[in-house]
Amino acid sequence: MAYQVTIVEDDSDMLNDMVGILRKSADFDVTSTYKNVKDALGQAGMFRPDLFFINVENDEMLNSLPKFVDTFKGAYILGTMRQWNPEVATIASDGGATGCILKPFTAKDVLEYLQLYSVRGQHKPAKLISFFSPKGRAGRTTLAAILALQLAEKTGEKVALIDADLQFGDLPIFFDLEPKRTVVDAAQDIRLLTPMTFAPYFHQIKDGVSLLASPAHPEYAELVGPDSLVDVVRMTESIFRYVIVDLPAGFNPVALNICRISDTVFITTMINSGFEVNHAKKTMEMFATQDDGRRKVYTVFTRVQPFNEESRKKIAEQLGFPVDIMIPNEYRMISVANSGRLAQGLPMDTLLMQTIGKMADKIINWGSGEV
Amino acid sequence: MAIATYTGSERTSIIISVFSTTPGIGKTIIAINLASGLATHGYKVCLADLDLQFGDVLNYLQLKSPVTVAGAQRALLDNRENFDVRNFLFDYQNGYVTFSILPAPLYIYDAYQTDVNLVTEIIQDLSYFDYIIVDLNSMFSALNLAILDISTVINYVGVIDFLPALKNYKVGYDTLIRFNYEEKKIRLVENRADSQKLIESRDVERLIGEPFYFKLPNDYASVKKAINSGQPLMFAAPESKLTKSFDDLVGLYSNRKIDNSQDDSVIQPSGILKSIKKFLGF
């Protein structure tokens, strides 16, 4: 059955173009067009539309997206723009749009975008989760990778892993990949990309989990501007429901920029000499000064031994902050990661997997009032 | 003579930078024990902690210093004429052994404000020491490259117990070569060399195309003692094999005509390895 289409567009020429293109396709049935928000919200219901094209370059239309989502439950809502604008795309997505599309488009473009956006998962804004570690060697990458696999398995939604440890990222080796395109290419190309042309930069590593890999040579890191990396993450959010970023160690422009836009930041620390807790404390204090109430910052301690409440209390005392998540040790992980079989060989029956599983459950339930 | 005399910049020090591409593999322990080992032999030594955000030199020696490199940078900016780097050094002393420390900033904010040129200038101002040991962090940052540039030798540390660590060691070495550091300047030092592991040193040497310059044994107990007591290994575990091993490494580094002996002891890359190196674009 053809999509029942409603177009909300204040530019008459553009409106005529879109109608003309869609009418030629058997897949679309243009039932109504409007030049302003008020008429569209009031009248379109008559035609039971299930696909909207709304001009998000118009501020009023952009800001009314939540009303359309609320009034026409279950309908696909595509924001239309002449040039890709990452900020507008993010606002549209936060407003509940299915996604955005460049105009003018062909009927085939629309079908491809609908496919891309429907496999993503629920039509809700993406959850952006960053893994920060003060000095590195914290178990950050392993944790990020396992969490990605578990989120995908539990939700059936699309999960992206972005290896932003630009100099010495380890994710490709964990998954035994030799990526053709990397996060460096994505950052350089991003201004010219659309979600459709950006999607192939990811490598699928398992059902539902795709990786945007780090480059093979550390000097390529120089080519990535922190701002373009933000744009890369923003566009990733339009095609993935969960976005997990593995950051380079320490405070640097890349890590700070990504943390700034993240919903959740995990400060990951592995205790070795004991002074790592002090580093985590310094880190938490820095994040506290940067707090604008928009992101949650959690402390994570990996390979905690003994794995009990006594340890939690001891670490928390030295840290001066609560220990939010403790991850137990699992010796078998080393050989799994060493063999590049992280996507296949996880020791599922272990305490480690159960603990990360619970972490995934919490993330899935955040925002649905069941924390 | 343990106390450094300030003679301006007439002399040049031997600068040994301790560098790696994987964090948390013993750089700071190596830096501290090189410093104390060289100091034992009567050299004037300064240990500079340039892991600016999360340096551990003071932590591992259980010291609190009122001065840091951040203060030195401020002083240099405010009043270049009267800048005296000695005002920003903190001395470690244990029995007859003493060396100076240029501590890392206490606050991340200060660390973030450091300027590569100023810090390099401060390190060069230390040239009245016989040896400057620089503890770096595990990245190719502008600061680390500036310090590697002025280093006499790069003590490039690897612990090869994990595939990603091996990858990063190899990639880091190749990058140093691409950046035109002379192979002679880069000293491959394997830490925890005799621990049980899946990857053999020999395979690493074959992959890198160079032999290890030195191998430090695995001695977790002694390192733990040293950190817990806040002392170099020679005091915390004088009889340990790691202490002995550091003494040997100090011996290599304190021979001013560094390593004539090395060429005899090392395995030269075979013809095949040489051609692989060429193929890889060294």
Closest Cα in chain B to A170: B164
Q: What is the pLDDT of residues A35-51, one digit of tens each?
A: 999 999 999 999 999 99
Please report the pLDDT score of residue B265 as a whole number: 38
Facing residue for A136 by CB, picked from B60, B112, B138: B138
Res. B5: pLDDT tops 50 = no
Provide the 10 A C-beta neighbour count for residue A11. Answer: 16
| Contact check, Cβ <8 Å, A137/B22 | yes
| Contact check, Cβ <8 Å, B171/A168 | yes
∠ at Cα B177 (B173, B179), nearest 5°? Answer: 115
Contacts of A142 in chain B (CB under 8 A): none
pLDDT above 90 as % of chain B: 80
Contacts of A248 in chain B (CB under 8 A): 139
Is residue A19 very low, low, confident or very high in pLDDT (cuts 50, 70, 90)?
very high
Res. B8: pLDDT tops 60 = no
Q: What is the pLDDT of residues A153-210, one digit of tens each?
A: 999 999 999 999 999 999 999 998 889 999 999 999 999 999 999 999 999 999 999 9
Residues A368 and A327: their CA atoms lie apart, in Å, by: 25
Q: What is the mean pLDDT of residues A349-370?
A: 87
Q: Contact, A287 vs A297, CB < 8 A?
A: yes
A254-263, A327-336, A342-351 — most confident range = A254-263
Query: What integer best gives the mean pLDDT of chain B?
Result: 88
| Contact check, Cβ <8 Å, B60/A273 | yes
Q: What is the pLDDT of residues B153-168, one digit of tens each?
A: 999 999 988 888 999 9
Domain with CATH 3.40.50.2300 in chain A: 3-119
Res. A360: pLDDT tops 60 = yes
Domain with CATH 3.40.50.300 in chain A: 127-365
What lies within 8 Å, CB to CB, of B42 at 6+ separation is: B1, B2
Q: What is the pLDDT of residues B19-45, one digit of tens each?
A: 999 999 999 999 999 999 999 999 999
The domain made up of A127-365 has a fold known as Rossmann fold (3.40.50)
CATH superfamily of B14-279: P-loop containing nucleotide triphosphate hydrolases (3.40.50.300)
| Contact check, Cβ <8 Å, A218/B109 | no
Q: Are strands B214-215 and A264-270 parallel, antiparallel or unpaired?
A: unpaired
Please report the pLDDT score of residue B6 as a whole number: 54
> Does the CB of A331 have a partner CB in chain B at under 8 Å?
no
> Does the CB of A191 have a partner CB in chain B at under 8 Å?
no
How many inter-chain contacts (A to B, CB under 8 Å) are there? 87
Contacts of B162 in chain A (CB under 8 A): 334, 337-338
Residues B256 and B242: their CA atoms lie apart, in Å, by: 23
A258 vs A341: which has the higher pLDDT:
A258
Q: What is the 3-state secondary structure of chain A?
A: CCEEEEEECCCHHHHHHHHHHHHCCCCEEEEEEECCHHHHHHHHHHHCCCEEEEECCCHHHHHCHHHHHHHCCCCEEEEEECCCCHHHHHHHHHCCCCEEEECCCCHHHHHHHHHHHHHCCCCCCCEEEEEECCCCCCCHHHHHHHHHHHHHHHHCCCEEEEECCCCCCCHHHHCCCCCCCEHHHHHHHHHHCCHHHHHHHCEEEECCEEEEECCCCHHHHHHCCHHHHHHHHHHHHHHCCEEEEECCCCCCHHHHHHHHHCCEEEEEEECCCCCHHHHHHHHHHHHHHCCCCCCEEEEEEECCCCCCHHHHHHHHHHHCCCCCEECCCCCHHHHHHHCCCCCCCCCCCCHHHHHHHHHHHHHHHCCCCCC
> Does the CB of A273 have a partner CB in chain B at under 8 Å?
yes
Residues B102 and B85: their CA atoms lie apart, in Å, by: 9
Please report the pLDDT score of residue B3 as a whole number: 42
Q: What is the pLDDT of residues A231-251, one digit of tens each?
A: 999 999 999 999 999 999 999
Contacts of A286 in chain B (CB under 8 A): 108-109
Q: What is the pLDDT of residues B232-271, one digit of tens each?
A: 999 999 999 999 999 999 999 998 444 444 443 333 443 3
Closest Cα in chain B to A215: B171
Please report the pLDDT score of residue B11 as a whole number: 67
| Contact check, Cβ <8 Å, A278/B59 | yes
Res. A252: pLDDT tops 70 = yes
Please report the pLDDT score of residue B274 as a whole number: 39
Q: Contact, B171 vs B163, CB < 8 A?
A: no
Interface of B with A (CB under 8 A): 21-25, 51, 53-54, 56, 59-60, 107-109, 111-112, 137-140, 162-164, 167-168, 171-172, 174-175, 178, 198, 227
Contacts of A221 in chain B (CB under 8 A): 140
Nearest CA to A211 out of A352, A342, A361 is that of A342
Please report the pLDDT score of residue B10 as a whole number: 57
Facing residue for A338 by CB, picked from B109, B162, B227: B162
CATH superfamily of A3-119: Response regulator (3.40.50.2300)
Structure tokens belonging to residue A259:
């943390």
Is residue B280 very low, low, confident or very high in pLDDT (cuts 50, 70, 90)?
very low
> Does the CB of A216 have a partner CB in chain B at under 8 Å?
yes
Facing residue for A251 by CB, picked from B112, B138, B164: B112
Please report the pLDDT score of residue A1 as a whole number: 83
| Contact check, Cβ <8 Å, A218/B171 | yes
> Does the CB of A154 have a partner CB in chain B at under 8 Å?
no
Q: What type of residue sits at position A37?
A: V
Residue with tokens 């053999």, as numbered in its chain:
B200
Structure tokens belonging to residue A68:
């359309």
Of A79-83, A111-115, A341-345, which gets the smallest average pLDDT?
A341-345
Q: What is the mean pLDDT of residues A308-325?
A: 97
Q: A160 to chain B, minimum CA–CA distance in Å?
A: 21
Structure tokens belonging to residue A34:
């409007």
Facing residue for B59 by CB, picked from A167, A275, A283: A275
Q: What are phi and psi of B190, to 5 degrees?
A: -95, 125
| Contact check, Cβ <8 Å, B56/A275 | yes
Contacts of A340 in chain B (CB under 8 A): 163
